[in-house]
Structure 1
Amino acid sequence: MKKKYSTFHTVLQFSMILLFVLFLRKFILTPIEVVGISMEPTYHESDRLWQTSLVTPKRFDIATFPSPRDGKRIVKRVIGLPGDTIRMENDQLYINDKKYDEPYLDEFKHALTDGMPLTADFTLANSAAGPATVVPKGKYFVLGDNRRKADDSRYFGFVDEDAIVGVVYFRYYPLNKIGVQ
């Protein structure tokens, strides 16, 4: 009798551990690989990140979702939340008519030598999100950090809240850039 209990107990413990690991893998430690250059200089091709699906994206969080173009998972920065107005003038971001600094772009802006802005002027109405003038309920407006090369909400429109897979919180590769994001 003791042998049966011991075997049952071991199987139960193993099952609980397996369920816990699967929970962690699905919701907390979900790996993602950066593909492309649209998030440079923040992330580069082949950077490896962990994301969580347990939090709702906030402004300037980096979120992952399936590309509206081909369904592959992509990484972009959340700029506009539901109810926001978004515009870019002279390389300055305005959200609800308030100026916002984007320090994560400073490295790229300082490296420009052609006299052109990193981000061309736009409004929601004259982007692919138009004719909307505010971010609708249940949607987000996202931008890549490499604004000249990014395929983002300016070109494919809003991202559905339900399409957001996760929010990036940790880079684990390359090892010299490991850390909380």
Structure 2
Amino acid sequence: MNAKTITLKKKSKTKFIVLSIACILAFIFMIRMAFYIPYLVEGSSMAPTLKDSERILVDKAAKYTGGFQRGDIIVIHDEKSGRSFIKRLIGLPGDSIIMKDDQLYINGKKVDEPYLKEHKQEMQALGENLTNDFKAEVPSGKYFVMGDNRLNSVDSRNGMGMPSDEDIIGTESLVFYPFGEMRQAK
């Protein structure tokens, strides 16, 4: 073998490796985008957990890999308005929900909402409740959702209705922008 043949084989091998790596990275990117989509937070209905203009990654796979859990932050597409909303999943199909004196009860059991602690303390200092009293029954195939900013949120209590599985795009998995505030919101 001469030097020219060895050089051509090395170039071919290098091209093959580079092309293989590029294909693998493109495949990983496509798979990732099939399960995760970026989403822009608009408005203050989820404050202080999520802030206006933050960008989050939404995990679409949660819809297919075990469903949704109470307390998840979910993105919902409203077919009527053509808009999407971010809300907290409070009630699952079949749940009985009662809010009494700023305390949430689901199926008769007291439920802690640690993500509301700061807002509740602010309102208690003013002698007010963060969340008005209400009762709701969640029908089969539906979910009850509320924004964390209970005083400024259109949700299942007041006009949004209760989304179904088909309406839910996925769950929030990561706040990725602004970069200095990257975190997993809970």
TM-score range, shorter chain: 0.7 to 0.9
Instruction: Tell me the residue number matched to 1:101.
Output: 112
Write the deviation string for residues 72-113 of structure 1: whole angstroms up to 9, x where unpaired.
221100000111111100000000010011110011112224
Q: Give the Å deviation of 1:14.
A: 5.0
8 Å Cα contact 2:92-2:142 kept in structure 1: yes
Per the normalisation by structure 1, the TM-score is 0.82
Q: 2:56 maps to which residue?
A: 49
Counterpart in 1 of 2:164? 160
Aligned to 2:28: 20
**Structure ID, larger Rg:** 2
Contact 2:42 2:53 in 1 (8 A): yes
Deviation readout 1:38-65 (Å, 9 max, x if unpaired): 0011111011111111112210000001
Aligned to 2:151: 148
Aligned to 2:84: 73
Out of 113, 124, 128, the position equivalent to 1:116 is 128
Q: CA deviation at 1:167?
A: 0.4
CA separation in 1, counterparts of 2:168 and 2:50?
19
Assess, with a 3 A threshold, how the Cα gap between structure 1 residues 17 and 71 changes in structure 2: closer, same or farther: same
Cα RMSD for the two superposed structures:
2.4
- Residue equivalent to 1:91: 102
- Displacement after TM superposition at 1:137 (Å): 2.3
Return the structure number with greater helix share: 2
Other structure's SS at 2:151 match: coil
- TM-score, normalised on structure 2? 0.80
Unaligned runs of 5+ in 1: 125-132
Q: Percent identity?
A: 39
CA distance, structure 2, for counterparts of residue 11 and residue 21 of structure 1:
15
In the TM superposition, residue 71 of structure 1 has moved relative to its aligned partner by 2.0
Distance 2:56 2:18 in 1: 34
1:16 Cα deviation after fit: 5.4
